[in-house]
A and B are shown apart, each in its own frame.
Chain A
């Protein structure tokens, strides 16, 4: 090889191409000269016409081929990591613990990250407020991170600016405040749950001693704090232990869904709802409310009274308990002095008597819970009853209030008016608003937005432009919690750390960083602020401890110890009690999906059906059927269906004008059975005026009707039909179950009598049963099962066979499963117009049925999704075999095979298949939203059918994991579908039904287990555990 000439100058050739070339063979020389084999290079010399055309034709054809390339797939460069991040394997997601706080309560989370993109949020099982579950806001928050409407740069007076300009101006501005001690400087924030942020806040207030700090939350716990403080003398929060409560009295307390610590409370509550605990073990819940909440739906007895009478019912119960011999101790005379009239409240005295009797019988294991929108007196009275019943320490304990310790004790609705009047008086020169939107979320009569104009410098830190930033001098972009370091205290005081999952996507900043910047805090970066704060608490070997905390997400042993509450006499009468009743009453409540309006630009939450009304994209003035009659609008809203039950029918709903004390609002009306008489309910949070693309034009602004004196209740409300109409998008307008055996329900007594029969097909259905096999008769001989068949015909008695059981006793109807599924499975949002057309894409439908009297019905929920039938009706009708069975019993969809005949959906008795009528995924194209998508789940193009897969990607992930270990079988509990994982009440159990030891297999053998429409012989793999209520016989008689 010594003759190898690598000198390019030598003969113009750098590399040899063959051995002949090396040898400089004459044939090779000629070959090189000719460049192409003989005949191929004659073009240049003597081109014939024919030859020319040949070559041109070939050239054009080839050009056409090359032209296809940029159309079909753009060039993409996939580059390896320059430096491989620690422990990152491409394709294998990583999970990090972090913390999210809403309304002053932190919940620990585990976030799934794919190559640096957080895609899915789960609960942190170690965190006491999560216990592995999540709420809706947590699930949806990951979409908020990628919201394309997020502010990317600081804005000055609505014009794009930059941080350099801001800090230059801020430095000179705050230098002035340093000099005058902060005179004229005001801060406004929501509830702070972060101790490190509170530390920075303290530093700010130290730096500017004359500065004022206002804490305002539209969804607050003021009444509770006031009531408990007055009666115990301490700033305490009640902590319920539902697991120990046998009798629960909920006074308008939606503890399953919208109250504090609802994830923990819901889980604890359903642990007592297992009918196998027997009459002594299963709890009984009484709910007194005017609105119809999901908690009211789970009640054994729901007493609906007018809003102004809810607290009075508690007084009646207290007096009745006293009369039945309960010693209220020092408060006895105070309670006797309270007055309440059963007739005015619309309750039968016998009802209260029986209820009190039942509660009294469970002294020491009963629980009275009072909702956040009830007056302070009711909270105090609730405490008195719990105390007298000996429940304290058993079913309820008290811990120092986190909100009070980090935010002070001034109620939101005293603080904000004070700030507003200071603004009006021109005492506020600079207002720094930290992640709050008072220009929208303050009661209208405060005219906060108008008064903002009198403030010289408004600096608003917010992740998106909103009503407040629109009126601000500076709008500074706020980090998403997944972009910054932080911490938070759970409701019980447990501290947990928040670590970023992604670098800030835009030029945004955290609240602590902003405060640190303007106050000269020693640390400027969120990491340093948090870490240095905790270093003080960490002790020796901090580095190791810190890493452990980050790993666990929870800082151990930081929960507050429970405190024995003091008792203050003479306070009860002074506390604000029930409002004076008058005419039609209206309740204002925060919306279970949008909270106080802050999530209005979150498309997942907008399209998530309201748990009770099933409305999407709008709120509505909810009125009871009778009130609708009185208003003369029921004809336009209600129709009797064929079986004579009323149902909400029309898409065009009447508009009504609601007038309250000089304020009025036009909004659409919606009939909701089960509301109390003469009651209307309007959720606040909708009707945002200045919001991103998603939230624009959705719903009606309830704040416009609220007054600062009595924000959540209004009496003497005038409602009149305007004659106008409005289109609403409702996902379920049919109320009745049509007497079909869909949700099967029994009373505890009936269930105890005959467990095997209570939910059986024999009782609920009349499908012929083959006497020999004991199974439903089939019209055809079912295909003999064979192993490894090419399609469908598998032996389901071998291997892992996936199945699911949904416990209807546990399901509270909160809808979180639906959101978790949306996040996990790249389910697109379709928008209001498409929902109105019946094309929502949610893989889970949370069915809500009303039972009984339309004025006072019971409500039941049922998670309905693909039942993974073994005899799947969808499979036999697909002409192209795009939906087929797997050997593990899954009904699979092959999206690439689907041509979209939609026959499968037609033939699905459960109607759980969803079709891409348009290319709904277009919304993700060239958008940050694409970053949220789960790479393990195919993004579906238009024209294909899709549906629940039992999260097959999770099954496969586990399969790979265990196969690598040499195990064929995945142990029970390893695979959890997204819905089951998020469910706060463990209603969904998934696993291998072939493993007799698995949870799901045991539940399948339970007498409560039944399959919906099993009489069609679909053999659903998803089955349900029938609902058992535990009614009080004496009350049933009275109520009837």
Chain B
């Protein structure tokens, strides 16, 4: 799995600030084995209350109808779809880091991949709630699944919403598998360190009898590679398909071919921003500084700079094409975005997604945790603004007589806030009970893991190294 081609420790950045495998294991297992801290309990309680608020509001929505939210005619989609697109965008970083960076042998990913995969899964959960609950008749939502039924009707395979169903569910399934797959060796480590019987038993079940044998490692690495191969197109496809919800429609401002790459870039962008936010916090709280190093943050910032600029290019190109096409509806839609009733959403998108990330050109900014943290928050606000701007384009389409504005209700707002409770609850549970970082992988990138550790000769290109769960 972890293949090191340039194992010269002097020539590559130090990814882990220790030379002791055991210390790495200790650092990562400590939160799970220690008693929960007061902060953690408080945060969990706060998240749980938000989660229950969300559940309560969803119950209220089911009881009363979609009218408790803000949508209307012409803006028949409101915050629900904005939140869906936003959360699913966030959920992109995980797969990107796990799969694509893995395939490109970006070793620095090891410190962040577990984190971001977990984040992906929880973000996709938050996202998946919205398209489900935003339908008018939740009790017949199973109509969207191609289940043979007495009505003799299939879903409409031409509908991008149906593609969404498949895309998101596939993505979720593969992400969970991928995540779980990577967890197995670490769960075995946890199991082996477990002191109570129950803990040992539960972990043993989930570790699937991992013994760390070479055969296990071989199978594991093969499977991981295959899953990475499967996931890679998903990174591109999910948000492309989500963007089809808009791109395949007829509405000016939605009907653009630029959407798939633009959405994917935006998704990676926002995903990286949230990963960075979480990582910066966790790094402080759980004292992971020696494993999650500034180099990681630096790389993430560079990624955000790249994707943010791609998004900025897309904004510019959209605007240019709207003008260049000569289509009066398209022109108006973009003019309206920039200067119309919802100019603030456009300003948020441009300001937070294009202008502010330009600060990442400066190394000083990239290496300033507080600045990075704030910029990442701005990016997520900006990305929400972008999603809002796109969805709300509905408010003035072809016939001026039908134009109307959108106003969210308190239920819209608090349901959105409530999804942070869902996310937070799961994330906190993850932080407490599962290995936050991929122990085995981190060890694999440690200088000591190199077979040539301590040698000062040129490294043979054929030198391969793999690390097992040998640190405990």
**Chain A residues within 8 Å of B, Cβ to Cβ:** 642-643, 732-734, 736-740, 742, 766, 834, 837-839, 845, 847-849, 862, 864, 873, 875-881, 897-903, 905-907, 909-919, 941-945, 1012-1013, 1016, 1018
Which of B67-75, B288-296, B424-432 lies at the interface? B67-75
Q: Are A905 and B74 in contact (CB under 8 A)?
A: yes
Question: Are B67 and A834 touching (Cβ within 8 A)?
Answer: yes
For the complex, give the distance between the alpha carbons of A1013 and B161 in Å: 25
A738 engages B154 (CB within 8 Å): no
Give Cα distance in the complex from A898 to B144, angstroms.
Answer: 10
Shortest Cβ gap from A186 to chain B (Å)? 51
Given known pairs A837-B70, A1013-B398, the reply for A907 and B250 (CB within 8 Å) is yes
A879–B165 touching, CB < 8 Å: yes
27 A–B contacts from the bound complex (CB under 8 Å): A642-B335, A838-B73, A838-B74, A838-B404, A839-B67, A839-B72, A845-B401, A862-B401, A873-B249, A876-B248, A877-B159, A880-B155, A897-B151, A899-B136, A900-B136, A901-B161, A902-B71, A902-B76, A902-B136, A903-B245, A911-B73, A915-B73, A915-B76, A917-B65, A943-B138, A944-B136, A1016-B398
Beta-carbon nearest neighbor of B409 in chain A: A837
B-chain residues with CB within 8 Å of residue A906 when the two chains form the complex? 74, 76-77, 249, 251, 394
Chain B residues with CB under 8 A of A838: 72-75, 404-405
With contacts A642-B332, A837-B70 known, is A877 near B398, CB below 8 A? no
A734-B400, A879-B161 known; 20 other A-B pairs, CB under 8 Å? A732-B401, A733-B403, A740-B329, A742-B400, A849-B400, A849-B401, A862-B401, A875-B156, A876-B156, A877-B158, A878-B156, A879-B165, A881-B153, A881-B155, A881-B156, A900-B135, A918-B65, A918-B67, A943-B135, A943-B137
Closest to A767 in B: B327
> Do B161 and A905 touch (CB < 8 A)?
no
User: Smallest CB–CB gap between A457 and chain B, Å?
Assistant: 49
Q: Is B160 an interface residue (CB 8 A)?
A: yes
A-B pairs, top 3 by smallest CB distance, nearest first, are A900-B136, A943-B136, A838-B72
Main secondary structure of the interface of A (DSSP, over half): loop
B66 within 8 A of A: yes
CB distance from B339 to the nearest CB of A (A): 6
Provide the residues of chain B in CB contact with A847, threshold 8 Å. 399, 401
- Decide yes or no: A905 and B134 within 8 Å by CB, A642-B332, A845-B401, A910-B402 being known contacts: no
| A493 CB to nearest B CB, Å | 42
Which residues on the A side are within 8 Å of B400 (C-beta)?
Answer: 734, 736-738, 740, 742, 849
B140 within 8 A of A: yes
Q: How far does the alpha carbon of A910 sit from the alpha carbon of B400 in the complex, in Å?
A: 10
Q: How far is the CA of A742 from the CA of B400 in the complex (A)?
A: 9
B161 CB contacts on chain A under 8 angstroms: 877-879, 901, 903
8 Å CB contact of B143 from A733, A897, A917, A944: A897
Q: Is the CB of A877 within 8 A of B248?
A: yes
Q: What 0/1 readout, one digit per residue, does chain B (236-250) give for beta carbons within 8 Å of chain A?
A: 000000000100111
Of A742, A862, A881, which contacts B154 at CB under 8 A? A881
A901 to B80, CA, bound (A): 11
**Which B residues are CB-close (under 8 A) to A877?**
158-161, 248-249
Candidates B77, B137, B249, B407; contact of A899 at CB < 8 Å: B137
Query: Which residue on chain B has the smallest CB distance to residue A834?
Result: B67
On whether the beta carbons of B73 and A642 are closer than 8 Å, the reply is no
Q: Which residues of A lie under 8 Å from residue B141 when comparing CB positions?
A: 899
Complex contact B76–A845 (CB within 8 A): no
Q: Does B321 contact A (CB under 8 A)?
A: no
Q: How far is the CA of A742 from the CA of B398 in the complex (A)?
A: 9
Q: How many residues of B contact A (CB 8 A)?
A: 57
Task: Give the distance in Å from the alpha carbon of A643 to the alpha carbon of B136 in the complex.
Answer: 36
Contact with A along B376-416 (1 / 0, CB 8 A): 00000000000000000010011111111101000000000
Residues of chain A within 8 A (CB-CB) of B221 are: none
A839 to B77, CA, bound (A): 13
Contact partners of A878 in chain B: CB under 8 A: 156, 159, 161
Nearest-neighbour CB distance to chain A for B51, whole angstroms, equals 25
* Distance from A762 Cβ to chain B, minimum over Cβ atoms (Å): 16
Q: Which B residue sits closest to A1017, measured CB to CB?
A: B250
A834 CB contacts on chain B under 8 angstroms:
67
Name the CB-closest residue of A to B396.
A734
* B162 touches A (CB below 8 Å): yes
When the two chains form the complex, which single residue of A864, A907, A919 contacts B399, counting CB atoms closer than 8 Å?
A864
A736 and chain B: residue at smallest CB distance: B400
CB distance from A880 to the nearest CB of B (A): 4
How close is B358's CB to chain A, nearest CB, in angstroms?
29
Return the chain B residue nearest A945 by Cβ: B136
List A contacts of B13 (CB < 8 A). none
Contact, CB under 8 Å: B135 / A901: yes
Q: Mark B303-344, 1 if CB is under 8 A from A, else 0.
A: 000000000000000000000001011001001100110000
> Once the chains are docked, how many angstroms separate the CA of A905 from the CA of B165?
19
Specify which of A739, A902, A943 is in contact with B77 (CB 8 Å cutoff).
Answer: A902
* Max chain B C-beta neighbours (<10 A), residue from A837, A848, A875, A1013: A837
**Nearest neighbor of A847 in chain B, beta-carbon distance:** B401
Q: Is A848 a contact of B401 with CB atoms below 8 Å?
A: yes
Tell me the nearest residue of chain A to B398, going by C-beta: A909
In Å, the complex CA distance between A1016 and B73 comes to: 20
Given contacts A742-B399, A907-B250, contact A879 B66 (CB under 8 A): no
Give the residue name and chain of the A residue nearest to B160 (CB): A877
A945 to B135, CA, bound (A): 11
A838 to B76, CA, bound (A): 10
Chain A residues lying within 8 Å of B455, measured Cβ to Cβ, are: none
Contact check: which of A733, A738, A837, A910 meets B72 at CB < 8 Å? A837
Contacts of A738 in B (CB 8 A): 328, 332, 400
Q: Is the CB of B397 within 8 A of A911?
A: yes
Give min CB distance, A744 to chain B, whole Å.
13
Contacts of A881 in B (CB 8 A): 153-156
Question: What's the minimum C-beta distance from A223 to chain B, rounded to whole angstroms?
Answer: 36
Q: Which of A911, A917, A1012 contacts B66 (CB 8 A)?
A: A917
Interchain CB contact under 8 A, A898 and B136: yes
Q: Is the Cβ of A944 less than 8 Å from the Cβ of B137?
A: yes
**Closest beta carbon of chain B to A614's beta carbon, Å:** 9
> Which residues from B are CB-within-8-Å of A903?
76-77, 159, 161, 245, 249
Contact A876:B67 (CB < 8 A) given known A740-B328, A899-B137, A899-B141: no
Within 8 A of A (CB), among B29-79: 64-67, 70-77
CA distance A834 to B135 in the complex (A): 19
Q: Which residues of B contact A905 (CB under 8 A)?
A: 73-74, 76
Contact residues in B for A739 (Cβ distance below 8 Å): 328
Q: Are B144 and A899 in contact (CB under 8 A)?
A: yes
Cα distance, A897 to B135, chains bound together (Å): 12
- B251 and A907 contact, CB distance less than 8 A: yes
Our pick among A742, A879, A911, A918 for the contact of B74 (Cβ within 8 Å) is A911
> Nearest residue in B to A765 (C-beta to C-beta)?
B328
Question: Are A839 and B73 in contact, with the CB atoms below 8 A?
Answer: yes
Contact in complex: A864, B77 (CB < 8 Å): no
Q: Are B65 and A879 in contact (CB under 8 A)?
A: no
Question: Are B399 and A898 interface neighbours, CB within 8 A?
Answer: no
Instruction: Knowing A734-B401, A879-B161, say if A917 contacts B153 (CB, 8 Å).
Output: no
CA distance A648 to B320 in the complex (A): 30
A759 to chain B, nearest CB (A): 17
A944 to B76, CA, bound (A): 12
Could you give, for residues 152-188 of chain B, a 1 whenever the CB lies within 8 Å of some chain A CB and a 0 otherwise?
Answer: 0111101111100100000000000000000000000
Q: Which residue of B136, B144, B155, B162 is within 8 Å of A916 (Cβ)? A: B136
CB-CB < 8 A to B64: which residues of A? 918
Give Cα distance in the complex from A59 to B165, angstroms: 41
Distance to closest chain B CB from A638 (angstroms) = 14
Residues of A within 8 A of B397 (CB): 909, 911
Q: Which residues of B contact A941 (CB under 8 A)?
A: 137
By the criterion CB–CB under 8 Å, are A917 and B71 in contact? yes
In the assembled complex, the Cα of A482 lies from the Cα of B143 at a distance in Å of 45
Q: How far is the CA of A957 from the CA of B424 in the complex (A)?
A: 58
CB of A943 within 8 A of CB of B66, answer yes
Docked CA distance A732–B404 (Å): 8
